[in-house]
Amino acid sequence: MATNRDEIDPDPKGMSRREFVQQALITGSVTLGSIGLAAKLWQRHHVVPGFEEKQGISLPSYRVDGSKVLPDLSVAHSLDRVTAIRAAVDNLGGMDRFIRKGDVVLIKPNIAFDRPPALAATTHPDALRVVAQMALEAGAKEVMVADNPINSPAGCFLKSGLEAVADELNLGLLYPESSAFESIQMEGEILRHWPFFHRPFQKADKVIGLAPCKDHNLCHASMTMKNWYGLLGGRRNQFHQHIHSIISDFALMIQPTLVILDGMDVLMSNGPTGGRLSDVKRVNTVVAGTDMVAIDSYGFTRLLERDVEKLEYLHKAHRRGLGTMDWKDLKLKEVEA
Amino acid sequence: MIAWLKGLRGPKRPGFRITKVRLAAQTFFFLLFLFFVIITDLRYLKGYPVSLFLELDPLVGFATAATTGTIYKGLILCLLLLVPTLFLGRFFCNWICPYGTLHQLIGWLFGRKDEVTRIDSNRFRKLQGLKYVFLVMMIVMAFFGSLQIGLLDPICLFHRSMSTAVLPALNEIFPDTFYVKQAYHVGAWAIGFLLLFFVVMNVYVPRFFCRVVCPLGAFLGVASRFSLWRIERDPNTCIDCDACLANCQGACDPHTQLRKSECFVCMECIEDCPVDALSFQFMPNRKHEIAAPPVTGRRVAMASVLGAAGYAMARSAGASDKNFSKKVIRPPGSLKEDEFLERCIKCDQCIRACPTNVLQPTLMEAGLEGIWTPILNMKIGYCELNCTMCGQVCPTGAIQRISIEEKTGMGRHAERGPVKLGTAFYDRGRCLPWAMETPCVVCEEVCPTSPKSIFSREVTITKRDGNPITLRQPYVDPSRCIGCGICEHECPVKDHAAIRVTAIGETRSTERSLLMDGGDPTSVLELVKKKR
């Protein structure tokens, strides 16, 4: 029978003292280590899944100190988008009022859909370019652009012209990658915990909202308040169950430095996606300011030409003191540029 | 004391045989296991620790600690097995493990009888290194968050086989023995066949499963590296007759350098040695042993890569994420899917404990990683409102041990409401009052929530024959529905019910909720105000 017998030590005695101590130490420490680790990791209580206490981040205010002299709301009319945007911001005291030298600036355009700029469903690349340039002229160290679109991000960024502008001005373009989200926490009417596109906010000192002015199938209008929808992740399709509460909660969620409503080309119908040039109307107006509620109130009345009484989210935000619908009461400067 | 430390020798004292003590222990634990399996039934379960073997299983404890960084409740008991193993070696395999005892029994009953054949069949084989490859793969997957040890862990495997295959099969042959009504388990034949395969393999390779496949054995084999006691052969006394191999269970080569990691400490060799050359020794000569498990570093590296690749490929199929199946309706108290997969060991104790037979082992519904984890099948049963049996027996907390109050959202849990498993939807084309001019609403009758999640509106319609009929047409209130599935179970349209529950709306995951905050903004607002 073939057996495999190795030459082995004939000494039948046990271990040497040295080996004995070594073995005892190893076994002893492994034993104590396992017991200690197990005791440390021991979870004695159960949870009720889905009902755990939730934690989340909250955003600081990005507003700059208000001015007693300068206007809070500015409207500029021009045949040229760049001229209109520059005039609208200049009315407010210029970009220097909002951006300090060395600031990191986040611009939040609305690039929700994979549409070419002419259909007015997204922030126009010329608007993005001029706002970024103004921020850089004011001394911004870095300008970032971020959005979490409804359609696929790569397609939206490419076809809206956003990516070309970002390349041209060397802006930081942030994609909504899974790791870029963190849970945000607030005492909203509906919104209390939600996945939030937090990565750009880890660096940003100032936040500018740059929104197109659009019709919306459910909430009537998508303007500067609705633009922040693009900072949230998760199951956004549930927002439609309480759309007006949610949009008013956005005014609680974020206090931006500056918001600009680009009403050069207004999407009057089939919103928020549009799709035909006949859905778009040339209005040649840009509104800028710090009060989103006032700007959207102006936009709904003057640009979309609708009855502001029907825009429930504005009323909700107004009632909660998150802004004022009565834009006529604000210091307003209107120019033809 | 010193004499005892020197070691247990062979048949010195007439009458006393250490193997008889071992057989008694094996018999006791085997019967205890069967006892626990059989009494895991609402009629008999009176606080017995029926998942004790699973809680004692150090591989379950270790692997769930790897996936979650926690050791859930009773799993801390695994120290009771792990610590003695660090001193005595893999004694569990031949003194306690009920699955090992089963294989030993089968080998004894149906295996080869002549001694020469048996001696040869009990020599160490390189194939025994395979179990370490399985172990490493599964541990690597565990560190990524996918718990797969339960596929082959003997306690999980034996529990699963008994619950889903053996008891229902026995009940088919001997009706009314284990169940009030015959229990059915979808795809259980696959679980049963795997059991039979491992059982039959004993005839060809004694204790094939224990030696070659068992990841728990491999885990304990690694732990036994540190043991202070082991079988020791005195080479000066040994006459090289190989009689020690005749009944060797582990195939650990007691006739030469002992393979420490393979030895089951069955002590058969001590008693079979005609010259008393073998003994169970405290700190014997290191040169007489092979302490390391029979697996090379290159094999371990390969197994690690396979584990990582296996995890990544299975996970990226999306079954636990975007492409989740509507059929993956998990038991009440289940963690959200990725955390569930970190904890479920597929022991199917929940399936055994479920009084309505609604819990079923998956095949591919929950993806490759979720194979044999529990889901609800409303055609077979429904989730009883005042029942949390599945969570009570779950050893790892994949189904958390929630109370009835926590499940139903009663008492101090009223503010956050009940645990929901899914949501019921009508298929109006199959519904008698909606499509067939026939009164019914059994669904509304059996709906257990208060107020009912199913309500009906009375309508008077003109029938095909021209006569009017007044009947009630049912609706679901999704903010109330808990997805228990009794409506689907009791629907008279038996083959494909006119109301069916799918997983959407389950409370365990915000990603799979249907209504934002339960769907009623006014009540939500009131709650928010209350909290403030």
| pLDDT tens digits for range A118-176 | 999 999 999 999 999 999 999 999 999 999 999 999 999 999 999 999 999 999 999 99
Query: What is the spatial distance between Cα B59 and Cα B146, in angstroms, rounded to a whole number?
Result: 14
Close Cβ partners of A210 (under 8 Å, ≥ 6 residues apart): A107, A108, A109, A110, A123, A127, A128, A131, A227, A259, A260, A262
Interface of A with B in 225-244 (CB under 8 A): 234-235, 238-239, 241-242
Chain B residues whose CB is inside 8 A of the A42 CB are: 70-71, 76
Cβ of A8 and B283 within 8 Å? no
For residue A20, the chain B residue with the least C-alpha distance is: B283
CA distances from A34 to A29, B62, B147 (A): 8, 10, 20
Residue B439 carries which side chain, given as an amino acid letter? Answer: P
Interface of B with A in 462-481 (CB under 8 A): none
Query: Does the pLDDT at position A249 exceed 50?
Result: yes
B124 and B266 housed in the same domain: yes
Q: Please say which residue of B245, B265, B290 terminates a domain.
A: B290
Whether the CB-CB separation of A155 and A112 falls below 8 Å is answered with no
Distance of CA B506 to the CA centre of its chain: 23
Q: Please say which residue of B256, B290, B324 terminates a domain.
A: B290
| Helical H segments across B145-183, by residue range | 154-161, 167-173
For residue B119, the chain A residue with the least C-alpha distance is: A1
Whether the CB-CB separation of A246 and A163 falls below 8 Å is answered with no
B86 and B232 housed in the same domain: yes
pLDDT value for A272: 96
CATH architecture of A73-206+213-280+291-336: 3-Layer(aba) Sandwich (3.40)
Query: What is the spatial distance between Cα B135 and Cα B176, in angstroms, rounded to a whole number?
Result: 40
ipTM confidence: 0.87
Handedness of CA A289, A291, A296, A298 (dihedral sign): negative
Query: What is the spatial distance between Cα A143 and Cα A210, in angstroms, rounded to a whole number?
Result: 13
Chain A residues whose CB is inside 8 A of the B528 CB are: 187, 189, 192
pLDDT value for A98: 96
CA distances from A335 to A116, A257, A262, A265, A281 (A): 29, 22, 15, 18, 20
Interface of A with B in 180-199 (CB under 8 A): 187, 189-190, 192
| Helical H segments across chain A, by residue range | 17-41, 81-91, 125-137, 153-159, 162-169, 243-253, 292-298, 312-319
Reported as a single tens digit per residue, the pLDDT across B325-353 is: 999 999 999 999 999 999 999 999 999 99
Query: What is the spatial distance between Cα B101 and Cα B28, in angstroms, rounded to a whole number?
Result: 10
- Chain mean pLDDT for chain B: 93
Chain A residues whose CB is inside 8 A of the B524 CB are: 190
Whether the CB-CB separation of A231 and A37 falls below 8 Å is answered with no
Asked if residue B367 belongs to a domain, the reply is no
Tokens standing for residue A157:
């960024």
Number of A/B CB contacts below 8 angstroms equals 146
Q: How many CB atoms lie within 10 A of CB A301?
A: 16
pLDDT value for B121: 94
Task: Give the percent of chain A with pLDDT over 70.
Answer: 96
For residue A19, the chain B residue with the least C-alpha distance is: B286
pLDDT value for B16: 78
A193 burial type by CB count under 10 A (0-12 exposed, 13-18 middle, 19+ buried): middle
pLDDT value for A7: 57
Prior bond of B49 cis (ω within 30°): no
For residue A6, the chain B residue with the least C-alpha distance is: B256
Cβ of A5 and B240 within 8 Å? yes
Instruction: Please give the backbone phi and psi of residue B345, each rounded to the nearest 5 degrees, phi first.
Output: -105, 10
Chain A residues whose CB is inside 8 A of the B290 CB are: none
Chain A residues whose CB is inside 8 A of the B67 CB are: none
What distance in Å separates residue B68's CA from the closest CA in chain A? 9
Cβ of B286 and A10 within 8 Å? no
What distance in Å separates residue B174's CA from the closest CA in chain A? 39
Q: In which domain, by residue range, is B223 found?
A: 17-290
A261 burial type by CB count under 10 A (0-12 exposed, 13-18 middle, 19+ buried): buried
Structurally, chain B folds into a number of domains equal to: 2
Mean pLDDT within A287-316 = 96
Whether the CB-CB separation of A75 and A88 falls below 8 Å is answered with yes
Tell me which residue in A12, A47, A192 faces B234 most closely, judged by beta carbons. A12
Tell me which residue in A9, A27, A41 faces B288 most closely, judged by beta carbons. A9
Asked if residue B512 belongs to a domain, the reply is yes
Cβ of A241 and B83 within 8 Å? no
Asked if residue B85 belongs to a domain, the reply is yes
Distance of CA A11 to the CA centre of its chain: 76
Tokens standing for residue A243:
């759309």
B235 burial type by CB count under 10 A (0-12 exposed, 13-18 middle, 19+ buried): buried
B257 touches chain A (CB under 8 A): yes
**Type and span of the H or E element at B190:** helix B188-204
What b/e sequence results for A230-257 when a residue is b if at least 16 CB atoms lie within 10 Å of its CB, and e otherwise? bbbbbbeebbeebbbbbbbbbbbbbbbb
Task: Specify the range with the lowest mean pLDDT, choosing from A57-71, A115-129, A223-237, B487-501.
Answer: A57-71
Query: What is the spatial distance between Cα A209 and Cα A216, in angstroms, rounded to a whole number?
Result: 18
Chain A residues whose CB is inside 8 A of the B83 CB are: 31, 34-35
The pLDDT-based confidence of A307 (bands split at 50, 70, 90) is very high
Query: What is the spatial distance between Cα B523 and Cα B485, in angstroms, rounded to a whole number?
Result: 26
Prior bond of B14 cis (ω within 30°): no
B507 touches chain A (CB under 8 A): yes
pLDDT value for B406: 96
DSSP B90: S
What distance in Å separates residue A246's CA from the closest CA in chain B? 11
Query: What is the spatial distance between Cα B51 and Cα B61, in angstroms, rounded to a whole number?
Result: 13
CA distances from A72 to A39, A138, A257, A294, A297 (A): 61, 19, 12, 10, 14
Mean pLDDT, consecutive 10-residue stretches, chain B (532 aa), reads 45 72 97 97 92 97 97 97 96 97 96 90 96 97 97 98 97 95 95 97 95 98 95 92 95 95 96 94 91 95 97 95 95 97 97 97 95 97 97 97 95 91 98 96 96 96 95 96 97 97 95 75 47 46
B315 touches chain A (CB under 8 A): no
pLDDT value for A206: 97
Query: What is the spatial distance between Cα A153 and Cα A222, in angstroms, rounded to a whole number?
Result: 19
Whether the CB-CB separation of A59 and A201 falls below 8 Å is answered with yes
- What does chain A come to in residues? 337
Asked if residue B298 belongs to a domain, the reply is no
Asked if residue B529 belongs to a domain, the reply is yes
Cβ of A48 and B413 within 8 Å? yes
Cβ of A190 and B515 within 8 Å? no
Q: Please say which residue of B290, B307, B335 terminates a domain.
A: B290
Reported as a single tens digit per residue, the pLDDT across A311-330 is: 999 999 999 999 999 999 99
Q: Please provide the distance, in angstroms rounded to a whole number, between the alpha carbons at the two ends of chain A.
A: 105
pLDDT value for A271: 87
pLDDT value for A12: 56
What distance in Å separates residue A9's CA from the closest CA in chain B? 6
Residue that the structure tokens 């029938």 belong to: B463
Task: Specify the range with the lowest mean pLDDT, choosing from A8-12, A73-77, B61-65, B248-252.
Answer: A8-12
Whether the CB-CB separation of B188 and B164 falls below 8 Å is answered with yes
